[in-house]
Structure 1
């Protein structure tokens, strides 16, 4: 046996026995789903994962500094970190803001799989004409899918977030312009009409109660905003990590889920069906027509998709790491944007746990 061969074997043996932390859980470990009732939730320690304990406190210090109220990391469904700040607790509800758009996207997919709607049909097929102030021919261009992808063509700046018909005015033909706007909430009206139920009742029976979430929709300034505990937000993140399945039950079919969490149009590559997408070659931001090169969160995993809301409400889902990260709280930097430098620095702190 040659010396070179022996040295190579020794090198491989040493390499395989390295203590370098692996950010990914064991492939043999099953995905865990907490019971639908009660406070029982399996945990996994930082030590169990081989992560760096000395990186925990800098992360918590940053979250405290940045006005956080709750923070959760799940790996394979198990809680690895769960912290509450500034008087918040596990039982305190908080608003999702625009992170709740992804709830509407999910329910839209459920309504389609039940045959109640088709996302390619025009909105006026369900709620009638005159729901905007657009000329009828322009209004009839707008489909449910245009609402899901923020490409309705409706004016996004001059009339603010008001979604009354008089404030929904023409800016461009549907499908030709990406612009972040609250007009997506008309999907809730579409589903209420198509199902013959209130939006809340349909949501509760088809999603909330099926995965053990708590919480309610509350009307604030012409917008329906979801409030829940951080653990309920984490349950939805876990459902999304598992591509719409809760244990062996399909809540949302995988075909629609994959459409929702991939680029949905060719204008803003970083946007799916009300989900933000990391790792794309370019992206747009709310209230801007500028195209920015590179990934939305450069320090974040490339396969990450995200629910992002005003004042830094966050659900990050990372399939490659079988991870879900939740952050609720006040604005990190006295800003109201769904995206800010907070995301990038936060992911630097999270990465330090296992890199």
Structure 2
């Protein structure tokens, strides 16, 4: 009897490694190899999705100036399609979707004890990094930079020199989409005594097998990579900061980063956009809009959104990571556009 009971218990334990001869368990989260381009796939029919909705989705994407599109299910590629002369080796810019890379590396630096996001920015950069009065500058924490509520003037362009970072309101009292977040890269560089590029590459990019590099475009620091690299990053975040059995960034930090970071724009975390909240704010506006950020998307979806419709959508409830790169689908935009909602209508027709 005891032997039967032990066998029963063993049968209830999930085994997360299997030999090549054993069938793949779709419920086990999959990670592609670090130093290989191989990637396990699943078909639309394998998942019992609506195959009749696939071609309308691809046609829509092509007409909307898309260069690449991917859907991962539990880490495996279900759809990978390239359009308009783009291919799997070509790089494209992430635009503001890459802000989430800065968020993630900030979390790594905090876990290593190099920074504390609750500390004021001047602890790392020294005083005078803005032209705000010192008492006001000292109110600005690293978390304010990650939450877009520094209180600095967002109407003066992307320049983050001290003369262009001017006081408008006390930190924490005003939400405004602002390029000042990039000062977090300076914070990490100063605290680590490394260049931002070197720290980013060693602590994040190389650990999950991404390619790509940071481009300095005037006052902007923009990341560019191939599409699979963007998907790798999305998968790591979907996996709550892990890659296989390695914790890249703490799960608690990922949870905080993808939750409301302040009470003004509840649809914003640490540079991540959050669906399913009752209201939201948009770049270059102080207006509050009622309703979900993307009504057609699942309520638990959160996203990295970049200029001209660079997208990483992550949906934990559906085990999905969705990537879109390309030119603007619906007129030039800073992050959100009507394209998001229209695209999710097409995705829902496929997945639901």
In the superposition, the TM-score normalised over structure 2's length comes to: 0.92
Determine the structure 2 residue equivalent to 1:7: none
Aligned partner (choices 52, 70, 73) of residue 71 of structure 2:
73
- 1:238 is matched with which residue? 235
Residue 201 of structure 2 is aligned to residue 179 of structure 1:
no
Deviations 1:309-349 (A, max 9, x none): 00100000000011000000001122122100000000000
> Where do 5+ consecutive residues of structure 1 fail to align?
1-25
Aligned-pair distance for 1:160? 1.1
Q: How many angstroms apart in 2 are the aligned matches of 1:295 and 1:264?
A: 17
Tell me how far apart the structure 2 counterparts of residues 337 and 264 of structure 1 sit (CA, whole Å).
20
Counterpart residue number, 2:113:
115
CA distance in 2, matches of 1:65, 1:133: 46
Partner of 1:188: 185
Name the CA distance, whole Å, in 1 between partners of 2:158 and 2:280.
22
Is it true that 1:308 corresponds to 2:305 in the alignment? Answer: yes
Is this contact kept in 1: 2:66–2:326, CA < 8 A?
yes
What's the counterpart of residue 125 of structure 2? 127
The reply to whether residue 168 of structure 1 matches residue 165 of structure 2 is: yes
Task: Find the residue that maps to 2:321 and give its secondary structure.
Answer: strand
| Deviation for aligned residue 1:27 | 8.9
CA distance in structure 2 between the aligned counterparts of 1:137 and 1:166, rounded to whole angstroms: 17
Give me the CA root mean square deviation.
1.0
Partners of 2:217 and 2:62 in 1: CA distance: 27
CA distance in 1, matches of 2:255, 2:86: 34
Instruction: Give the whole-Å Cα distance in 2 for the aligned partners of 1:349 and 1:27.
Output: 28
Aligned ranges for residues 77-92 of structure 1 at < 5 Å? 77-92=75-90
What stretches of structure 1 move > 6 A for 4+ residues in a row?
A: none
Q: How does 1:20-35 map to 2 (within 5 A)?
A: 29-35=27-33
**Counterpart-to-counterpart distance in 2, 1:330 and 1:173:** 37
- Alpha-carbon distance in 2 for matches of 1:331, 1:154: 28
User: Which position in structure 2 is the counterpart of 1:55?
Assistant: 53
Structure 1 residue matching 2:271: 3-state secondary structure: coil
Measured after TM superposition, the shift of residue 28 of structure 1 is: 6.2
Q: Helix, strand or coil: the match of 2:53?
A: helix
Aligned length: 329
Q: What are the superposed Cα offsets for residues 47-75 of structure 1, whole Å, 9 maximum, x if unpaired?
A: 00001111011101110010000000000
Matches within 5 A, 1:263-302: 263-302=260-299
What is the match of residue 226 of structure 2?
229
Instruction: Tell me if structure 1 keeps the 8 A contact 2:124–2:187.
Output: yes
Runs of 5+ unmatched residues, structure 2: 1-23
Q: Equivalent residue of 1:290, what SS?
A: coil
Instruction: Provide the secondary structure at the position in 2 that maps to 1:170.
Output: coil
Q: Distance in 2 between matches of 1:271 and 1:234?
A: 21
